[in-house]
Every structure is written in structure tokens, then in C-alpha cells.
Amino acid sequence: MTQPSMNVQGAIDLAALAKAREAATRPVSQQAGGSSFVKDVTAASFEVDVLQQSMTVPVIVDLWAEWCGPCKALSPILEKLAAEYAGRFILAKIDIEAEQQLAAAFQVQSIPMVLAFIAGQPVGLFQEALPEPQVREVIEQVMVAAASAGANGVAGGEASNNDSEPVKSDPRFDVAEAALESGDWDAAIAAYHEVLKATPNDSIAKIGLLNVELLQRTDGIDFEETLALGASDAETQMKIADVEFICNDFAGAFARLVDVIRDQPESQPVVRERLLQLFDIAGPTDPAVVKARVALSNALF
């Protein structure tokens, strides 16, 4: 049996700051397995139960199905360890039969499939029913990585009576949010840079900054005129892709930039960087991101 290892995958896994804060107001989801450290996760709850939670403690994701024999051997081990670690990590269980959108986003080919999210970033773990000692070893690796990322808190053991209340604002972002409300993009960008000076790996600040930069680039643009532009130079194509993205046509924006990367090698570095920024904003679980990553790999290699 091969030694389990951790493999960082994908970009930072948070949606826009505003979306994250809105999602954080939803009540705590139905708990699984009789433990508040184990959660049944759906596409609707993924933002809060996995992405948001992983900013505080690592989240181990167990992709399983009722018909999967190895899953029935592995899941009790994961649940036991979740209870034993008492909030140092959260176990998120995803039934791939019930949550086919998530299964597609994770490109599930076989189960069990176990991964982790640490500070919003996906980390591949293993795809087999390992014995408890090896699972414990992997969990310990996750804990070390979480400590390095500053996501080594402890989740609350029992759901409190205030679980349905909105999460309080993080004062670190008050200046940026005030600037956003007034449309002062320069001030918002400066505020996010200040946060990143103190905490360079802060995923919320990174994605917030990317969003403000996108808003600044598209401020004052006539969307209809931009989408009708016929020029094929890289700068124009990036401008059109920004508009497509902000209009929620993620697939169109990604495909456009991948085409430029493939057809205009001289523009590849700057266009690739823009594409990766849009991937980060959309989040790695978005189906359009998953598809575009494959297309990008084909265009590059």
C-alpha cells in the first residue's frame, strides 16, 4: 500500500467577499452522525460548511455513496477521529448520488475520495479505504498544514442558541467595505493591501482584492458596446472577458482567454494571470472553472 501524501490542488477556494459574508448568515446545517463535528454537506451549504469553516479549522471532505463498500469501512474511522479531535477539524460528508453537482465539480471518478480544505484551499488526501493508523497520520499532516496557514482554531462543540444569527463583521475589513460601498476602488484596494501586509495568506483579503480590481477595470464601461467589439488583440479580449465574467458568463470568459493563450503566445503570461485571477474569484468548485482548467492545460501543453 502506498504511503498517503498531501497534494495542494487548485486555486484559493473562496467566492467573492460579499458572497461569502452573505452566505455566512445561514443557520448551521443539519449535523450528521450525531456529532456537531460531522456535517452532511450540500451544494447549498458548501460555501459556509466547507469554505468559510476552513478559514478557522481544516475541513476534511469525505465523498461517499450508500452503495460504496469501502466507504462504509472508512466513514466510521473518519467520524471517530472527528469526535476525538473535538473541533480541531470538521468532517464534511458529501453523498455524491444526492449531490451530483459537487461530484462533478470535484471530478469524482472513484470513491471513497477524501480531501481537505485549509484556509479556503483544496488539498488532495487519498482515494482508498485506509486503516485507522494511516488515516490518523494523514489527519496529523493536515493539522500541521493548517497551523502553517493560520487555520488551527477549534470549532464549537455544540450548536449554540445563537447559530441562526449572522456572523459579526470582521473589523479588519471595515475600511475596505466602507470604500466599496462608496465606490472608492483605490481606497478599497489600499485597505486590502494593508490587511495582506499583516496576514499575507488571508484568502478573504486576496479574493476581495481581486474583486475590487475587477470592479475598477469595468467601472464606466458600456457592456453592450464592449461585448460587440471585434478586435482580437489580447487587451481587448481581456476587456471583453471581464464583462462576460461580471455578467455571470464564466464559461464564455474562460473560453475567450484560453483561446488567446493558445493563439497568441506572446500574450500568454499576462492573459494566463488574468484567467487565474478569475478562476480564484469563481472558486475551484464552479463547473466552468473545472472545465476551463482542462482547456487551459491543453492550450499550454
CATH at residue 137: 3.40.30.10
Q: What is the number of structural domains in the chain?
A: 2
Q: Are residues 185 and 227 in the same domain?
A: yes
**Sign (positive/negative) of CA torsion 190, 195, 201, 204?**
negative
pTM, full prediction: 0.49
Task: Write out the catalytic residue numbers.
Answer: 68, 71
Per-residue pLDDT tens for 35-64? 578 999 998 888 888 988 888 899 999 999
Model confidence at 28: pLDDT above 50: no
> 217 and 103, same structural domain?
no
Let me know whether 17 and 143 are in one domain: yes
Same domain (yes/no): 136, 211: no
Q: Is residue 116 a contact partner of residue 57, using CB atoms and an 8 Å limit?
A: no
Domain check: are 112 and 246 in the same one?
no
| Residue 231 resides in a domain | yes
In a shared domain, residues 93 and 176: no
Cβ-contact 179, 191 below 8 angstroms: yes
Count of CB atoms situated within 10 Å of the CB of 221? 14
Instruction: Estimate the crossing angle of helix 69-85 against helix 132-149, to 10 degrees.
Output: 50
The domain of 204 spans 171-300
Give me the residue label for grid cell 476525538.
84
Is the pLDDT at 109 greater than 50? The verdict is: yes
Task: Give the HSE-up count for residue 241: Cα atoms under 13 Å, Cβ half-sphere.
Answer: 25
118 contacts 60 by C-beta, under 8 angstroms? no
Q: Give the model confidence (pLDDT) of 156-173 as tens digits.
A: 643 333 444 444 456 778
- Residue 290 to residues 10, 21, 108, 153, Cα–Cα distance (Å): 9, 24, 12, 30
Q: Are residues 247 and 176 in the same domain?
A: yes
Is 273's pLDDT higher than 90? Answer: yes
159 in a domain, yes or no?
A: no
Q: How confident is the model at residue 200 (pLDDT cuts 50, 70, 90)?
A: confident
The number of CA neighbours under 13 Å toward the Cβ of 67 is 4
SS3 of residue 137 by DSSP: helix
Shared domain check, 219 and 181: yes
Domain membership flag for residue 156: no
- Per the DSSP assignment, residues forming a β-bridge with 45 are none
Residues 102, 175: one domain? no
| Inside any domain, residue 2 | no
- Residues 47, 110: Cα–Cα separation, whole Å: 24
> Does 238 fall in a domain?
yes
Both 132 and 198 in one domain: the answer is: no
Written as one letter, the residue type at 277 is Q
Task: Give the CA diameter of the chain.
Answer: 61
161 within domain boundaries: no
Are 215 and 270 in the same domain?
yes
Same-domain status, 142 and 238: no
